[in-house]
Amino acid sequence: QIQPMESGGGSVQAGGSLKLSCVVSGFQHTKYWMWGWFRQAPGKSREEREGVGSILVGSGTTYYADSVKARFTISQDPATKTMYLQMDHLTPEDTAMYYCAVGRGGQWWRQMFYDFWGQGTQVTVSS
């Protein structure tokens, strides 16, 4: 069973940085090769989770939402089955629960293309 697990969330002031990690246990490279980050802002429903970005395991190709492009960076360490989300120049609008997810490919920004989800890690940015 594939189980993603996030860590690294916390509280930071605007302009600061945080780095999230996601360890994917039980990973099967041949099937689940699209890993993504999503976030759920306060007051938003699960269905309204926003795709933050994604990385294709192996090629390392990354995709980002316009709202985080040039501020956030996704990377991976295949040896440890870990995905990272480096978040710089954070703003209060980045406050959310951040989730990592594993999928078999498709439109990276859509939740329906991800099969396994972590429990989330909270990021709070104060002004």
Residue 58 pLDDT level (bands cut at 50, 70, 90): confident
pLDDT tens by residue, 19-56: 999 999 887 666 888 999 999 999 999 999 999 999 99
What Rg do the C-alpha atoms of the chain give, in angstroms? 13
Residue 108 has, within 13 A of its CA and on its CB side, a CA count of 17
pLDDT tens by residue, 61-82: 999 999 999 999 999 998 899 9
Structure tokens at 64: 């980002």
Rounded to whole angstroms, how far apart are CA atoms 61 and 49? 22
Query: What's the confidence (pLDDT) of residue 28?
Result: 67
Structure tokens at 82: 């870990």
- The DSSP secondary structure of 29-52, one letter per residue, reads TTT--EEEEEEE-TT--GGGPEEE
Query: What's the confidence (pLDDT) of residue 81?
Result: 92
Structure tokens at 90: 């954070």
Report whether 112 contacts 38 (CB < 8 A).
Answer: no
